[in-house]
Amino acid sequence: MASNTVIEVTSPLYLHPSESSNSVSVEKLEGSTNYRTWKRSMEIALASKRKLGFVTGLVKRDVIDPIKQDAWDTCNNMVISWINAKVSTAIKKSRKYFLNKAVYEMKQRGRSITEYYTELRAM
C-alpha cells in the first residue's frame, strides 16, 4: 500500500538536513556535579528542536504508516546520538574512577601471587 504521507517542518518527526550528531549545544555531562544543569540544558535543547517527546515518550512510533515509522526511527536515533555525544565523557570518567579505586583497594588476601596478579590484570 503506497503512502502519501508528508512530514511537515513543524512535526517532531521532521529532521532538518543540517542536523547531525553534534548539533545539540549542551555542555558535556561530567557526572553528578553538573547533572541537574546538564539535564535542564538538554531538555531545553531537545524541546527547541521539537524532539523532547522522544525522551519523555510523548512522541510514539506510528503503528500503521511506514513513512512515519521511518521518520520516527531516524529522529529517535538522532536524539540518542545527541545524548550519547554529551554523556560518553562522563561514562568514561566514571568507569576510570571506579577501576582506579578498585585497583587501589585490591589486596592479595592470602591468594597466590599468580591469582592476585591475574585478577589485577583482568581489571
- Cell output for 81: 546520538
Indicate whether 77 belongs to any domain: yes
pLDDT score, position 40: 92
Indicate whether 49 belongs to any domain: yes
Summarize pLDDT for 30-49 with one digit per residue, the tens: 778 888 998 999 899 999 99
Average pLDDT over residues 47-68: 94
* CA proximity to 52, closest of 76, 30, 81, 70: 76
Q: Are 38 and 26 in contact (CB under 8 A)?
A: yes
- Domains held by the chain: number: 1
Indicate whether 55 belongs to any domain: yes
* CA proximity to 107, closest of 97, 98, 96, 115: 115
Indicate whether 4 belongs to any domain: no
Indicate whether 11 belongs to any domain: no
Indicate whether 30 belongs to any domain: no
Indicate whether 28 belongs to any domain: no
What domain range includes position 46? 35-122
- Cell output for 23: 548539533
Neighbours of 5 (CB within 10 A): 14
Q: What's the first-to-final CA gap in the chain, in angstroms?
A: 54
pLDDT score, position 23: 66
Residue 53: exposure state from Cβ atoms within 10 A (0-12, 13-18, ≥19): middle
pLDDT score, position 20: 72
Indicate whether 41 belongs to any domain: yes
pLDDT band at 93 (very low <50, low <70, confident <90, very high): low
